[in-house]
A and B are shown apart, each in its own frame.
Chain A
Amino acid sequence: MPTAAAKVATREAYGKALAALGDEREDIIVLDADLSGSTKTAVFKKGHPDRFLNMGVAEANMMGVASGLASTGLTAFASSFAMFAAGKAYEQVRQEIALPRANVKICATHAGLTVGEDGASHQVLEDIALMRVLPNMTVIVPADATETEQAVRAVAELQGPAYVRLSRMATPVLFDPATYRFEIGRIATLREGSDVTIAATGVCVCAALEAAELLERDGISARVLNVACVKPLDVETLVLAAKETAGIVTVEEHQRAAGVGSAVAECVSERAPCPVVRLGVDDRFGESGDGAQLLEHFGLGATHIAAAASDLVGRAQ
């Protein structure tokens, strides 16, 4: 169980990492669409005002401009709320960033239910689906602040487009920067287990670890995987989990359809079929409320995860 005292939103970690990156690299240029205080690109702007462009409330234009900047040799980071980065500007992202393989990093904050009080119009639950189907696009959903810092560096190193999904809500810092290593294309095994696998993403990783604790009390050994890199997907680790445990429970604050759960199911069904239970939002929109309350409300709390996992183990026996 994570005993981390500190809670830091991944968007906070993003702003900090971006500013540090800006100190080190002259080629980093940052764009925002009138949300720099919320996305935390304002932290970068403070240190590097000459390499920050506020494009106003105009996300579609921002994506095109980011692509143009990248074509001149710069590494462009474009930020807005995930709803607008992935949703409002989807066609521009596809045509001007994914297709030309532009060196643009879309760092999208305020994703998922944990946006909270702003409600359905701002709670994008479809962005992982939209982004992972785009050729050339790398898709990353960090689970905590430590992983976010590493992921921001990793996408900055990468040549080509990336989508990084970040959260508004402050969540526990799960990983020790001294020992944790994020890698594109790798799923980290956070906890070994032999009965069942829980593959969680983003803010749901914390609840997955709690669920594993609950399951242990019931004598169930749960493996916990952190699917931070949704694309490219770590096939090896997933196939191993499929073969060595009774099945996989996936957890994400995203539509059940076409998200991480679907990606996992697609992967194992072709290579090592096993039961996959996808926890997520079931074909509906979110609503206003406190972020943590909403996760519980939509069945993404530790007890829900534990129940689904124990159910899966029961079915297998």
Chain B
Amino acid sequence: MSAAAPLPSPEPAPDPRKVRAPSHAAPATPEPTPSRKHEPPTPTGVHVDPAPAVQHGLPASAHVPSDAPAGRLVDDHQLAEHPASTAFDPARVSRPMAGQGQGRTATRPPPTEKDSSRMTPDFTELAEIARELRIDVIRMLNLARSGHPGGSLGMADVFTALWFGGHMRVDPKNPAWGERDRFVLSNGHICPILYAILAKKGYFPRDDLWTLRKLGSPLQGHPDFHHTKGVDCCTGSLGNGLSVGLGMALGARAQGKDFRVFAGSSDGESEEGQVWEMATAAAFYEVDNLTVLIDRNGIQIDGFTKDVMDQGDLGAKYEAFGWHRQDVDGHDLRALHDALLAARAVKGRPQVIVCHTVLGKGVSFMENQPKWHGQAPDDEQCARALAELQAAP
């Protein structure tokens, strides 16, 4: 090997200045194949810990690239997205001149069948998916004995519209695909709904869901991409994630990529000052590949948001910061789909969709009850919740 030989790189490092519009079409998102019908242990039965045979720090489902140095956990996020030779070009993120648009060179590849946001999804099918996701959330949390059902159930419809309505360009078989749309769950505590989605999308076996929060599980109490395939951002400390999302969106522009960034947030999180630093910067840089979806359920840990720290008109605040703003019924799948389409069409501005949701939606005794923000259902409550969800039209 000559001294000048480049170090082996897991993915050819693109020179961002040379990047043209990606010529390849987005791969179809395979629908989950229910090859194995996995049912979790019944909540009333004795739960035996799945006791994953896992070496510490290297969970079974952690994705270690084959060329990773032995014995060291390397996350392919770093390998795929931060190759040392990818020079950062500040000129690409610097604020474009007014009227010059968003300064991106790439155009989105033609949508494939599964990726088509122009194709109207079957809303009955989406509603069925949302029901299944809610059922998974309840089962996971019951087995975990702790966690956050309220927001997870409340955002089930929003995230179903996003992930199953053709708005996310992802390839579950290739979680590190550089052109994928990114998803940041900034209100990381509602990760049970994300895990249910990722399992349904086929990122990992559905059985992993029943190990949530246990020692050695690939599913951590808060999202952590070292452990979980399909997670793009480590979150859990409120206020941080949206900034990372903004960075991803700017990163796309800097490298001439056309992926979009979707980020979940909440009214409680909006109390963090950093959110508004992010909002200022995103508008200043005219970032239009960033869409923030806010869980506006009016509840946080200590009670109703209007009593703890009133948020007023969140959408109006974002609007005042220069964002494109929509307010949507967070349980109307059609309205959510339309809002996502409308957001995508916005040029030169970041978009916020304030999703008016009901905490605990779908389980009557949880709905709009602050105590269900972060408390797992016991066996009896689990059985009641499942019965309701299964009986729902």
Within 8 Å by CB of A37, from B146, B237, B273, B302, lies: B302
CB distance from B359 to the nearest CB of A (A): 15
Q: State whether the Cβ of B238 lies closer than 8 Å to any Cβ in chain A.
A: yes
By the criterion CB–CB under 8 Å, are A288 and B238 in contact? no
Is the C-beta of B301 less than 8 angstroms from some C-beta in chain A?
Answer: yes
Query: Which residue of B57, B145, B214, B222 contacts A118 across the interface (Cβ within 8 Å)?
Result: B222
Chain A residues engaging chain B, CB cutoff 8 angstroms: 32, 34-38, 42, 54-58, 60-61, 83-84, 87-88, 116-122, 284, 287-290, 293-294, 297
Known: A55-B309, A297-B56. A288 touches B217 (CB 8 A): yes
Cα–Cα, bound, A36→B300 (Å) = 12
Q: Which of A36, A57, A83, A297 contacts B272 (CB 8 A)?
A: A57
Complex CA gap A55/B216 in Å reads 36
The count of A-to-B residue pairs whose CB atoms sit within 8 angstroms is 99
Distance, CA A118 to CA B273, complexed state (A): 23
Going nearest first, the 9 A-B pairs with the smallest beta carbon separation are A121-B236, A56-B309, A289-B215, A119-B221, A56-B271, A117-B213, A119-B220, A57-B271, A118-B221
Interface residues of B (CB under 8 A from A): 56-57, 144-147, 188, 213-217, 219-222, 224, 227, 234-239, 268-269, 271-273, 300-302, 308-309
Residues of B contacting A297 in the complex (Cβ-Cβ under 8 angstroms): 56, 215
27 intermolecular pairs with C-beta atoms under 8 Å apart:
A34-B268, A34-B308, A34-B309, A54-B302, A57-B239, A57-B271, A61-B273, A87-B237, A88-B239, A117-B144, A117-B221, A120-B234, A120-B236, A121-B221, A121-B224, A121-B235, A121-B237, A122-B222, A122-B237, A287-B216, A287-B227, A288-B214, A288-B217, A288-B219, A288-B221, A289-B213, A289-B215
Report the separation of the CA atoms of residues A58 and B273 in the bound assembly, to the nearest whole angstrom.
7
Central interface residue in A34, A42, A293, by most chain B CB within 10 Å: A34
Residues of chain B within 8 A of A61, CB atoms compared = 273
> Which residues on A sit within 8 Å (CB–CB) of B219?
288
**Contact check: which of B214, B222, B302 meets A36 at CB < 8 Å?**
B302
Which residues of B are found within 8 Å of A57, using beta-carbon distances? 238-239, 268-269, 271-272, 300, 309
Identify the closest chain A residue to B219 (Cβ): A288
Cβ-defined partner of A34 (8 Å) among B215, B227, B235, B301: B301
How far apart are A36's CB and chain B's nearest CB, in angstroms?
5
* Known contacts A87-B237, A117-B147, A289-B216; A122/B221 CB under 8 A: yes
Report yes or no: A284 in contact with B57, Cβ–Cβ below 8 A: yes
Question: Inside 8 A of B272's CB, which chain A residues have their CB?
Answer: 57-58
Shortest Cβ distance from B274 into A: residue: A60
